[in-house]
Structure 1
Amino acid sequence: MIVLTQSEKPNVIVFFTDQQRWDTTGVHGNPLGLTPNFDRMAQEGTHLYHTFTSQPVCGPARASLQSGQYATEIGCFRNAIPFPSGSKTLANHFKKGGYYTGYIGKWHLAAEEPVKEERRGGYEYWLASNSLEHTSDPYHTTVYDHNCQPVELPGYRVDALTDAAIRFIDGEKDKPFFLFLSYLEPHHQNRNDNYPAPTSYQEMYTSRWTPPDLASLGGLAHQQLGGYYGMVKRLDEALGRIMDALKSLKLEESTIILFTSDHGCHFKTRNSEYKRSCHESSIRIPTAITGPGFFQGGRKRELVSLVDLAPTLLDAAGLKVPEEMSGRSVLPLITRSNQSWQKEVFVQISESQVGRAIRTKKWKYSVSDPTKNGIDHSKSDHYIEEFLYDLELDPYELTNLIGYKSHQEVTRFLRERLLSKIEEVENEIPYIESAPLKESGQRKLIDEEIFQ
């Protein structure tokens, strides 16, 4: 760890979106030009090309990012479980390190509205709502200030929060600050199950491009993608405005920006909701970092988890990474000082099911317990194999290979790796029941494919 003086400390901004697929970005192949600012950030900074949530639902993912721990470790394994008052957040660590901390937007880690001071995770400046989708509409944004008083912010919701963030940055420009800017978009508006883009934006993107999984599986994509893409476009414009503000205040070279999301969106193709599944559409998220330590870091193809981002930010700010954090800083990937990196990411799934998954460079393997619901149970001692995908040949996961006779050896290999991760994180070794065998037709694996 490098210890920085107060004047050397970089400012840190987390630009956090909600329910954004990785393939909404140009650097991931989206052809619609939705994200020129994110794409530039990824190209000029560090692009974490393979980043995955540790839990594909709002509250648990946010708890993991704040704590650097998995959802079951911090205790927030599903929505509506408050962040434990005795546990440390990013705000606690940055404040201890000499930073002024601020939170703007959606919190989703408390059980009341407005959020009481003791439930704000230690953030000093506060302009937020626990459940922003329920306290606001696209053009009527209500958040709460430090004194729990409602504040009405004018404009489209993305712009309203961005305006507030720019005011914060301008007001705190003379001392190191840590700002967590948490948007609702491109999450659906719950009360009408719709993706409300700013005026005229939905029409720009309706029937333009549909990812292969959504084109094949149906769901609600044909109805909702135009609005979803319009929301993504406005978010990227907000990112550009934040970057412009930093440039005008001469903070561009001294500010770290992390762009990431809590989980993806499968538009009700994999279950009856928009997330809460093991599939790439649900767990893979767009992630890039720019600023001191990350300029010209390039594209990193190693597998990164959401739990790795908290220690990364602390490490980059010259602060000590707590031992209780399960994640690892990605800075060694950039400096190439350590070539040893994880070969898989581990995913816990709740609410829709009690599930566990592992994702390697080539394979996705997932299990669940159909006898337990994911609301009341955080884990199980008995899982059943559910999914196996070859991500090199089938990146949109349209062919489930679980049970194929041709894939029994790779299934055994992945089962052992998943059990090892469960033991490491949850201190238990459950039983995993094999899926029924299926004929494989012409399918066949060679040895070198198994261990990727």
Structure 2
Amino acid sequence: MTRPNILVICSDQHHPLMSGYRGHPYVETPNLDALAASGTAFTNAYCNSPVCVPSRMSFMTGKYASDVDSWFLYIPLDRAETTWAHRLESAGVPATMLGKLDLCGDYQDAGFGEHKIIERRPAWSPYPRRTPLLDRLDGYVRPDKRAHIMNSGVRAGLITDGSDGHNDKYGFYDHDRIVTDWAVDYLRDKGRGDRDQPWALYVGLLFPHWPYCVPQEYFDRYYPDNIELPFDASFPNESLHPALRHFQRGQGIDGLTEEDVRRTVAAYYGMITALDDRIGQIIDELKVQGLYDDTYVIYTSDHGESLGEHGLFYKQCSYEGSVGVPLIVRGPGLAMGEACEEPVSLVDLYPTVLDMAGLETESDRRGHSLLPLARGGEQVREFVFSEFHGNFFKDSWYMIRKGDYKYTHYCNERPSLYDLAADPQEMNDLAADPRYQEIVAELEALLRTQVDPEATALRAKHDLGLIGPDGEDYTRTLTVTDVHEGRRTGRFEPEPELK
């Protein structure tokens, strides 16, 4: 074979440290461990926006989420944007998508020649929004977030069609079972086909995304004692940065008990092990069909999961558990059993996939191919970047990781700075320390070479209905109650439909 095949497996909401190959004392991931032993594990990998849709639009296009105006969920991608699937198809490499990719609205294929999904996310209509997005206003509390934690544990013991995965009784176990079966069937077909025709397959699995429920056998591996309780897990946590305390209040999780956390952590661990079993099925089929040696494999997740760390659950913030992701790359000619500590991000997937196919990357893409690092080469990037413009935060934030330092710029709030080498749990914010002011200034200047944070935040607010016709910033002046009253009186239009 002159050109290898490409297999990309993307899970959803996988904490970067919660795998056996990362040294976790309890989480069992033998298949990911074997994949890491056969390739390179990137131990400082980040998503470019820690929520599903913007992260995926970034790694599909090789651009930052703000480059393509992907601020939050329910926002469609412009069909004019080129994805790596478009590039592969144009070069004669058939590309197939199975499972979750999370485009919104009518445009679902993302340039893949074939695609099959179970759950299609709709888009707001009309969009841009003409009524304020409540999720970013004072007084917003999302009730289902607390409910997921209170209902965590064992999944109902029945088989579903996978389409009701957000239900706390079922979760995404059946979704992943079905998508894995699709992937296995695809690989069997390729095993019978033309071995000289390279192909690309994207598999979108949903574990360990909430709801936190898993079959009994997986839950029992960890509950009640085979877990690590999260650090700094106070509910409420009054020591949080003001923007993060606002986030915690929006989750509605004040007053959680140790038992609530213990049960949820055990279920999450079980979800990771169930995910690992699915990945094992796919890799095993590659080997059975004699395709493994001729296939590049990438495993990653769209973002992480805080899982109680700092008193937070879910994603959305710039702490390591949320913005960090697992990332493994293996394939022909790449190093085996290596751990690369250089900071990288998911925007690097676009040039990496093109490099695997022998294609050049356009000059307007933000990332760099990971293959030189996976061959033992030197780092070519100076820093990594992430951003967030969605729910639970009144204002946008932007993160720069350079060397050991992580800087987060919060619009209309003070910044934060952590030395991750000395303080990997991010307990000691250095931003106000006079000894670190030069580093803060350097990293803010670096951030501004990538994006105008205030102008970009304003664009996001305009699109999300948060700027009034006279320029009023509703995140500064309105509460959720005000908007409800404004809808009643006709000041604001009804909530846009989802289509």
TM-score band w.r.t. shorter chain = 0.7 to 0.9
Residues 116-265 of structure 1: pairs in structure 2 closer than 5 A = 116=106, 118-128=107-117, 129-131=119-121, 139-142=159-162, 156-173=174-191, 174=193, 175-189=197-211, 195-206=212-223, 207-210=225-228, 212-213=230-231, 221-265=261-305
- By how many angstroms is 1:25 displaced? 1.2
Query: Aligned equivalents of 1:187 and 1:363: distance in 2?
Result: 28
1:363 to 391, 399, 405: 405
SS in 2 for 1:209: coil
1:60 to 34, 50, 54: 54
Any idea what the Cα deviations from partners look like across 1:242-291, whole Å, max 9, x if unmatched?
11101110001001110000101113656875111111011111100111
**What letter matches 2:222 in structure 1?**
Y
**As a proportion of its length, which structure holds more strand?**
1
Residues 291-310 of structure 1: pairs in structure 2 closer than 5 A = 291-296=331-336, 298-310=338-350
> Which moved further from structure 2: 77-86 or 409-418?
409-418
- By how many angstroms is 1:229 displaced? 0.7
Change (3 A) 1:105 1:214: farther
Query: Aligned equivalents of 2:38 and 2:308: distance in 1?
Result: 35
Is contact 1:83–1:119 with CA below 8 Å preserved after alignment?
A: no
- By how many angstroms is 1:399 displaced? 2.4
**What letter matches 1:311 in structure 2?**
P
Is contact 1:140–1:155 with CA below 8 Å preserved after alignment?
A: no
SS in 2 for 1:130: coil
- By how many angstroms is 1:36 displaced? 1.5
Any idea what the Cα deviations from partners look like across 1:275-317, whole Å, max 9, x if unmatched?
1111101111110011124242722111101100111111022
Q: RMSD across aligned C-alpha pairs, in angstroms?
A: 3.0
- Aligned: 1:334 with 2:324: no
Match of 1:395 in 2: 424
Query: Aligned equivalents of 2:2 and 2:342: distance in 1?
Result: 29
Query: Aligned equivalents of 1:368 and 1:255: distance in 2?
Result: 42
Match of 2:68 in 1: 74
SS in 2 for 1:172: helix
Query: Aligned equivalents of 2:272 and 2:173: distance in 1?
Result: 17
Change (3 A) 1:155 1:307: closer
- Aligned: 1:411 with 2:440: yes
Match of 1:385 in 2: 414
- Segments of 5+ residues of structure 1 without an aligned counterpart are 1-6, 144-153, 190-194, 370-382, 431-452
Change (3 A) 1:270 1:213: closer
Q: How many residues align?
A: 388
Change (3 A) 1:350 1:213: farther
SS in 2 for 1:41: helix
SS in 2 for 1:30: coil
Structure having greater relative contact order (Cα 8 Å, sep ≥ 6): 2
Is contact 2:233–2:309 with CA below 8 Å preserved after alignment?
A: no
SS in 1 for 2:300: strand
Match of 2:356 in 1: 316
Any idea what the Cα deviations from partners look like across 1:216-235, whole Å, max 9, x if unmatched?
67866423111111110011
Match of 1:350 in 2: 389
Query: Aligned equivalents of 2:121 and 2:365: distance in 1?
Result: 26
Match of 1:439 in 2: none
Is contact 1:50–1:301 with CA below 8 Å preserved after alignment?
A: yes
Query: Aligned equivalents of 1:332 and 1:297: distance in 2?
Result: 15
**What letter matches 1:36 in structure 2?**
P
Change (3 A) 1:11 1:340: closer
Match of 1:286 in 2: 326
Query: Aligned equivalents of 2:38 and 2:229: distance in 1?
Result: 26
- By how many angstroms is 1:69 displaced? 0.7
Match of 1:13 in 2: 7
Is contact 1:201–1:230 with CA below 8 Å preserved after alignment?
A: yes
SS in 1 for 2:307: coil
Change (3 A) 1:139 1:319: farther
Is contact 1:68–1:327 with CA below 8 Å preserved after alignment?
A: yes
Is contact 1:22–1:285 with CA below 8 Å preserved after alignment?
A: yes
Is contact 1:213–1:397 with CA below 8 Å preserved after alignment?
A: no
Q: TM-score, normalised by structure 2?
A: 0.71
Query: Aligned equivalents of 1:413 and 1:284: distance in 2?
Result: 23
- By how many angstroms is 1:130 displaced? 2.2
Change (3 A) 1:280 1:340: closer
**What letter matches 2:404 in structure 1?**
K
Any idea what the Cα deviations from partners look like across 1:188-219, whole Å, max 9, x if unmatched?
03xxxxx1112321121123222653656786
SS in 2 for 1:168: helix
